[in-house]
Amino acid sequence: MKGKDRRLGGGTAVAFAFLAPFLILYTLFIIWPVIQGIYVSLHRWGLMGKIRFLGFSNYTRFLTDKFFWGSLWNTTWFVIISVPLLIAGALVLALLANRKTPLQKFLRIAYYVPNVLSVSVISWMFRIMASPYQGFFSTLFHTLGILKPDQEIMWLTEPNLIWVIVTSATVWWTTGFSMMLYISALQDIPLQVYEAADIDGASRGLQLWKITLPLLKPTTYLVLLLQIIASFKIFGQIFMISGGGPGNLTRPLIQYIYESAFAKNEMGYASAMSYALFFILVVLSFIQIQFQNRREKA
């Protein structure tokens, strides 16, 4: 028994030695910043450091902050309009790129390439394309005769149209990642299932509706969860394309947190709002996981 215990102890020590570098770095760069952020959120904290202890005042403050709720609504609205488009676009592209054609590899690369570009490149590209008079959209609509020579669409100043530009940029930029998840799931579906459906006389549309989509449900739940989290963290596209305008009509919560911290010198209040957003994402993720588990058990 002593020899066995000694071997188990040695194995544990070796395992810990392999895990130690990761645990040290994870604690240093993930756990400790989280603890420090909570500490900062309990104080009035400026760029020069701690000023005074406030307790939970920063957390009760945003409950009556109309700008916080306005920014949260803008973020939620972006989630509502972008997530369905991202999921549907990724699924359609995956179905197209998964077909056995000579262009299969090319299509996969072409659909995924935008995902490797930086947010600054995407944002400025769409900002230039949406510019009035000389932008791509303006020139295209005038060429097709949709707009008269003396007409112009102000994409970047109209509250509804700016959401079209931001959402289009985001969908075009990020759909490739979710598409690859769907392609991986499609390749895991046995070909025998489709062969049996062909023998039974099922059409392609019926196979899609009765076989493909039901078998892709776990991947769809995963993509939905990832896209909700990513869309709630929207910042770069809006900041570079519209700056949160016109007015504050497109300012997301992350931008308001950023402005509170670095423009208004309220690091403590910004930290409190960050944890509020974290709590919202945790709750939404928990609800979705519970919903998924119940659907799978049903």
- Measure Cα distances from 121 to 86, 117, 126, 241 in Å: 20, 7, 9, 11
| The pLDDT of residue 90 is above 90 | yes
Q: What length is written for the chain?
A: 298
pLDDT of residue 6: 58
Going by C-beta distance under 8 Å and a sequence separation of 6 or more, which residues neighbour residue 280? 232
| Virtual torsion, Cα 111, 115, 119, 121, nearest 10 deg | -50
Q: Which position has the higher pLDDT, 209 or 3?
A: 209
Report which of residues 146 and 85 the model is more confident about.
85
Span 228-282, pLDDT tens digits:
999 999 999 999 998 888 888 899 999 999 999 888 889 999 999 999 999 999 9
Position 255 scores a pLDDT of 94
pTM here? 0.87
pLDDT above 70: residue 1: no
Structural domains in the chain, CATH included, are 2-41 (no CATH), 65-297 (1.10.3720.10)
Tell me the average pLDDT of the chain: 87
Residue 67: which pLDDT band, with cuts at 50, 70 and 90? Answer: very high
* Higher-pLDDT residue of 14, 287: 287
**Alpha helices by DSSP H, the chain:** 2-26, 32-41, 57-61, 66-97, 104-112, 119-129, 136-143, 159-187, 191-199, 204-207, 213-215, 217-232, 236-241, 253-262, 267-297
Q: How far apart are CA 129 and CA 139, in angstroms?
A: 9
- Percentage above 90 pLDDT, the chain: 44
Higher pLDDT: 132 or 77? It is: 77
pLDDT level of residue 220 (50, 70, 90 thresholds): very high
Supply the pLDDT for residue 192: 86
CA–CA separation, 161 vs 154, rounded Å?
Answer: 8
pLDDT digit string, tens, across residues 100-132: 888 888 988 999 999 999 999 999 999 999 888
Please tell me the predicted confidence (pLDDT) of residue 9.
Answer: 55
